[in-house]
């Protein structure tokens, strides 16, 4: 054994050259599942395990301080709530029901028992509201930041599971709620943080009046349990579905790539809340860009056959934003001016160089 | 919303005052599970979810650089292997079979694609050997150290699951393999690291000759799949079982506390490899202390009824180390000199102040 055994590998390919999805593809491309019970491995919102016909869904998220959250403006209770909810969202995106979670924490030295109680109370509140059990985890100290890893287990009937790969030519594309709000909330928090940082001693308190919606979308998002239930009540099983965590553009491209189809998205149909639009104007940012690339909306993006067009009107809280096309037509957004712009996966990239 | 919302909580209880197990108890004591499918939540080696009679076991581990591993002397391939195996070990400790894992990584900036390939190749090798599928995960960048979170899913028949709480008075206590080797391997690596640190330019290479076994126990441990299979082949279902991750003392106390029993452990029966003993002598350390409190052995500690005494002789690779007593007798080790020493949970504590 040479010593030290690890400092830098001889050949060095920078991770940024591959990007998050490229890296995952690269590391997982040769993985072959062998267990009979493994129905679906890497590559969708959740993995699927068979249990006597009933399916178990598993999803997991790792949240690191400084990358995914900033404790200067994130109440720990909200952070706990969000950490749980984003995992529930992945299970709903498979048309499943979240049932259990495990929580692993790396605890930063500056944190007290009360801080962890705050965090846990947020997790527990989320679990209470969504009907999910906390069943385990791991707790350790962290030499650096606060580290959160949550795994969620859900169930679904085999014939009701919705993958990313089922979209077909002429399918309609729907999105729930509105988009871009979480991103604009983050921009607002970041601005106030920098104002605070330059005047820490002057008792500075930011003015968040009238901005509650976009702040809540960023700090305490919800998963769209209601939409999944509405679809079920109306007997609708989407042909494909994903939750919008990276941004509409990036997540719609996931569906198109895995379904081997193209798409047409209409800019004027992308649902935007007025607070989102107002904040974008204040910041002199393009609100469509925020909706396309902002991410962290945790809305559901899904496709249904064209024949269901009339029936979809019974589902409240969703918006028709476009349709699926043949793969050779590519993936485009039609702007308000009628210009076709190719969609790019410019979503929030946690692998990007900081 | 006050700003900043979080710096320090008003009331501040230091986490060290509770310790790891105290903190987990404190945060989870009011958790009540509600899902019909939740069979067992927090408090054993793995959680249990029901799926049409068959049980799904779930366990998760969070490993942080600087706390759980040191990349100066840990080859990434071994680290990947170990990160997977320690989770398999938790499933075996329930008398289950690991089937799937998810891997979440927080990637330190200095790491290259090749480094991650090394890590993944270790995980894949472990999965190959133990017959486990990689089914998902999450990948993000880390501003600080390398972060690894692995969740393992396993299966077991309901009537074969072994908990920590089933030990009964007069049961025999067995342990597989030998103990303390991993801890002595760690001491050796730490010593060589400090020698290296004081002579980095002199081409220093440590002499690990004859120490391969203790190094392997630390860097590339195995889970005791073979023992679980042997027990099954012989029709033996232990009354309680745990894997030794914190140290024999701490883990035996877990069984005694949860089973509401006492125990007598015989020092002379604790299995120690000669390399472990030799290393302890070199370091002028008590080898029994290493076995009791060192941890990271990933051997199985289990109890069986006294009536199985003869039958247990058919199981190779295990050692009778003591027996269970009534709770009022307490938990003691009988030394080679016949002195009774009360067992204390002095195992490796990842929550301790560094």
pLDDT tens, B169-180? 999 999 999 999
Residue of A nearest to B202 (CA): A3
Q: Which residue has the higher pLDDT, B59 or B220?
A: B220
Task: Looking at chain B, list the stretches that DSSP marks H as alpha helix, in order from N- to C-terminal side.
Answer: 19-28, 76-92, 113-130, 181-198, 212-219, 225-233, 248-259, 274-282, 287-293
Residue B188 has pLDDT above 50, yes or no: yes
Same domain for A257 and A112, yes or no, is no
User: Count of CB atoms within 10 A of residue A200's CB?
Assistant: 9
A348 annotated ligand-binding residue: yes
Two structure tokens written together for A292: 């396309």
Question: Are A262 and A289 part of one and the same domain?
Answer: yes
Q: Domain range for residue A249?
A: 172-200+210-342
CA distance B295 to B287: 13
Percent of chain B with pLDDT over 90: 56
Quick check: A149 pLDDT over 50?
yes
Strand order of the β-sheet with B240-243 is: B240-243, B300-304, B172-176, B318-325, B262-266, B331-334, B340-342
B75 touching A (Cβ < 8 Å)? yes
Same-domain check for residues A291 and A328: yes
In A288-317, the residues whose Cβ lies within 8 Å of chain B are none
Number of domains in chain B: 2
Q: Which alpha helices (H) appear in B29-112, and where do they start and end?
A: 76-92
* Residues B216, B338 share a domain: yes
Residue A96: pLDDT over 80: yes
Q: CB of B29 within 8 Å of any CB in chain A?
A: no
Answer yes or no: do A237 and A335 share one domain: yes
pLDDT of residue A254: 92
B323 located within any domain: yes
Dihedral sign computed on CA atoms, order A217, A220, A225, A230:
negative
Q: Nearest CA of chain A to the CA of B235: how many Å?
A: 24
Which pLDDT does position A351 carry in this prediction? 46
Is the ipTM here above 0.90?
no
Task: For residue A227, give the H/E element and its range.
Answer: helix A225-233
* Alpha-carbon gap, residue B150 to B135, rounded angstroms: 11
Is the predicted pLDDT of residue A341 greater than 60, yes or no?
yes
Is pLDDT above 80 for A55? no
From CA B270, how far away is CA B257, in angstroms rounded? 21
Q: Which tokens is B202 given?
A: 């002199």
Nearest neighbour of A73 by CB, restricted to B5, B124, B144: B5
Q: Supply the pLDDT for residue B6.
A: 46
Check pLDDT > 80 for residue A105. yes
Residue A20 lies in a domain: no
Contact A133 B33 (CB under 8 A): yes
> What is the rounded CA–CA span in Å between residue A276 and residue A185?
8
* Same structural domain, A184 and A289: yes
- The three-point CA angle A267-A273-A279 to 5° equals 100
Contact of A210 with chain B, judged by CB distance below 8 Å, is answered with no
Give the residue-averaged pLDDT of B66-90: 92
Asked if A97 and A176 sit in the same domain, the reply is no
| Residues B109, B245 share a domain | no
| B296 marked ligand binding residue | yes
| Same domain assignment for residues A186 and A311 | yes
Nearest to B222 by CA among B238, B244, B200, B203: B244
Name every chain B residue with its beta carbon within 8 A of the beta carbon of A153.
49, 56, 58
The shortest CB-CB distance from A56 to any of B14, B56, B105 is to: B56
Predicted local distance difference test score (pLDDT) of residue A13: 77
CATH of the domain at B126: 3.30.1330.10
Q: Provide the CATH number for the domain around residue B244.
A: 3.90.650.10
Return the number of other C-beta atoms located less than 10 Å from residue B317's C-beta: 14
- The residue among B98, B153, B150, B94 whose CA lies nearest residue B122 is B150
* Tokens coding B259: 């089973």
The average confidence (pLDDT) of chain B is: 87
Q: Which residues of A touch B38 (CB under 8 A)?
A: 99-100, 133, 135
Query: Which of B269, B256, B248 has the alpha carbon at shortest distance from B324?
Result: B256
pLDDT digits (tens, 9 = 90+) for A161-180: 899 999 999 999 999 999 99
Q: Are A69 and A185 in contact (CB under 8 A)?
A: no
Contact between A92 and A232 (Cβ < 8 Å) = no
Distances, alpha carbon A85 to alpha carbons A124, A290, A296, A313, in Å: 11, 22, 11, 27
Rg (CA), chain B: 21
What average pLDDT score do residues B292-319 get?
96
User: Would you say residue B165 lies in a domain?
Assistant: no
Write down the pLDDT at residue B52. 67
In eight-state DSSP terms, residue A115 is: H
Q: Are residues A181 and A133 in the same domain?
A: no
- Decide which of A50 and B314 is more confident: B314
pLDDT at A8: 43
What is the mean predicted confidence (pLDDT) over A129-137?
87
Higher pLDDT, B111 or A285: A285
Mean pLDDT of chain A: 87
Query: Which residues sit opposite A150 in a β-bridge?
Result: A61, A103
At residue B275, the pLDDT reads 96
pLDDT higher than threshold 50 for residue A352: no
């Amino acid at each position: 054994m040479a010593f030290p055994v690890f400092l830098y590998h001889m050949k060095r390919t920078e991770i940024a050259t591959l990007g998050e999805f490229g890296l995952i593809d690269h590391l997982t491309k040769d993985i072959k599942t062998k267990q009979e019970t493994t129905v679906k491995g890497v590559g969708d919102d959740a993995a699927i395990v068979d249990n006597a016909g009933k399916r178990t869904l598993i999803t997991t998220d790792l949240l690191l301080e400084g990358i995914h959250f900033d404790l200067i403006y994130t109440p720990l209770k909200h952070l706990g709530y969000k950490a749980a909810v984003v995992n529930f969202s992945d299970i709903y995106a498979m048309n499943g029901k979240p049932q259990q979670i495990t929580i692993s924490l790396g605890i930063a030295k500056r944190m007290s028992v009360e801080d962890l109680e705050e965090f846990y109370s947020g997790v527990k509140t989320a679990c209470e509201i969504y009907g999910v059990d906390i069943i385990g985890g791991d707790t350790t100290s962290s030499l650096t930041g606060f580290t959160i890893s949550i795994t969620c287990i859900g169930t679904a009937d085999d014939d009701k599971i919705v993958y990313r790969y089922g979209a077909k030519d002429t399918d309609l594309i729907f999105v729930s709620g509105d988009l871009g709000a979480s991103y604009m909330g983050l921009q607002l928090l970041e601005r106030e943080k920098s104002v605070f940082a330059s005047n820490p001693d002057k008792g500075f308190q930011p003015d968040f009046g009238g901005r509650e919606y976009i702040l809540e979308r960023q700090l305490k998002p919800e998963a769209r349990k209601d939409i999944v239930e509405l679809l079920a009540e109306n007997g609708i099983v989407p042909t494909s579905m994903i939750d919008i965590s990276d941004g509409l553009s990036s997540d719609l491209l996931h569906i198109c790539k895995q379904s081997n189809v193209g798409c047409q998205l209409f800019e004027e149909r992308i649902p935007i809340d007025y607070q989102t639009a107002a904040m974008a104007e204040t910041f002199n940012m393009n609100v469509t860009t925020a909706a396309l690339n902002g991410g962290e909306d945790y809305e559901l993006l899904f496709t249904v056959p064209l024949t269901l067009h009339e029936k979809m009107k019974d589902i409240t809280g969703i918006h028709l934003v476009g349709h699926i096309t043949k793969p050779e037509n590519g993936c485009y957004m039609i702007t308000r001016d009628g210009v076709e712009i190719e969609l790019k996966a410019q979503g929030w990239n946690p692998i990007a160089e900081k």
